[in-house]
Amino acid sequence: MRLRRCVDFRKLNATTIADTYPLPRMDNLLTEAKSMACMPTIDIKSGYQQVKVHEAHQDKTAFICPFGTYKYLRITFGLRNSSATFQRLIDKFRSDLKNVFALSYLEDIIILSETFDQHINDLQIVFERLSLFKLHANR
């Protein structure tokens, strides 16, 4: 049996200053994507858990369970600013993609290419950049 952690972060979230970094709107993404020949989605594996919690804030995520006391070393769902933090990282990832049209929505990166040959080239660039950012995709 595999156990899943479920931590109630309501008190921590109530005292956390909101990061108002904008998340993309799905309707805008669909409008941009509709005319492309190729548009696969790359799912970032456990995306939030690939981003480290700053050491100064790790103790704030501590929780107690029957097996001991633990703290998160990586961001997780439920923390107030998880989505904004992850989106900022993905936007930084996308910012230097030269001649590659890529959209993102939460843990998904959508590569948009006009031709199959261009698509193969675009994927190569994106996978190299994923490696540079130390981000892992699902198979």
On whether residue 26 sits in a domain, the answer given is no
Average pLDDT, the chain: 88
| 1: in domain | no
**Domains: count for the chain:** 1
Q: What confidence tens digit (pLDDT) does each residue in 106-138 have?
A: 888 989 888 899 999 999 999 999 999 999 998
Rounded Cα gap, residues 110 and 50, in angstroms: 19
Structural domain of residue 119, as residue ranges? 37-133
How far apart (Å, rounded) are the C-alpha atoms in residues 125 and 115? 15
CATH code, 65:
3.30.70.270
Q: Is residue 42 part of a domain?
A: yes
Structure confidence at residue 134 (pLDDT) = 92
pLDDT in tens, 2-30: 877 789 999 999 999 999 998 888 777 77
Q: What is the pTM of this model?
A: 0.81
Query: Is 49 domain-assigned?
Result: yes
Band of residue 37 on the pLDDT scale cut at 50, 70, 90: confident
